[in-house]
């Protein structure tokens, strides 16, 4: 969005589909976290990162974090291995609004963490996004999980 740029070989991988993220995770002998694992890991982390207010639509900082985790919020949405489904106990509202919302819960995968195009005041550990697995959403990336 700001013109041609030289590739930062140390920057995060961006603009990848769920399929590409999953393939890279498997190649790395790791995996994508489930959305529940991602949220649990993100709760104690500081909500810091590159958000919409910076006006910079690319990664701008070295990852930061605690507990052995690197930056969980901002810069890029992170694919999870979870399909977009309602939380336990969810019931759609009656009428057309309920019907409209349920249609989005089909053939989508969950992304977490927000991006450089997400307003900072929207961010919280439970904030979720979704896209079809073949979509190369312009602000999607990878956060690998490892077995303990």
Least confident of 2-11, 22-31, 43-52, 61-70: 61-70
What residues contact 86, with CB distance under 8 A and at least 6 apart?
92, 105
Instruction: Write down the pLDDT at residue 127.
Output: 95
pTM for the structure as a whole: 0.85
Q: Is residue 65 pLDDT above 50, yes or no?
A: no
What residues contact 112, with CB distance under 8 A and at least 6 apart?
35, 38, 39, 42, 72, 77, 78, 80, 127, 128, 129
- Domain extents in the chain: 18-142
| Alpha-carbon gap, residue 22 to 81, rounded angstroms | 8
Confidence of residue 61 (pLDDT cuts 50, 70, 90): low
Provide the CATH topology of domain 18-142.
3.90.1580
Instruction: Write down the pLDDT at residue 66.
Output: 44
User: pLDDT of 90-125, one tens digit each?
Assistant: 887 787 766 666 677 789 999 999 998 999 999 999
Mean pLDDT of all residues in 9-22: 87
């Amino acid at each position: 969005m700001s013109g041609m740029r030289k590739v930062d070989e140390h920057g995060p991988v961006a603009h990848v589909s769920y399929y590409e993220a999953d393939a890279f995770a498997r190649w790395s002998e790791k995996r994508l976290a489930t959305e529940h694992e991602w949220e649990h890991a993100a709760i104690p982390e500081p909500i810091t990162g590159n958000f919409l207010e910076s006006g910079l639509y690319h990664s701008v900082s070295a990852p930061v974090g605690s507990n052995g985790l690197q930056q969980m919020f901002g810069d890029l949405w992170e694919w999870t291995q979870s399909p977009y489904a309602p939380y336990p106990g969810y019931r759609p509202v009656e009428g057309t609004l309920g019907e409209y919302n349920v249609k989005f819960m089909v053939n989508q995968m969950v992304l977490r963490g927000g991006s450089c195009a997400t307003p900072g005041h929207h961010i919280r550990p439970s904030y979720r996004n979704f896209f079809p697995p073949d979509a190369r959403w312009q602000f999607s990336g990878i956060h690998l999980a490892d077995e303990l």
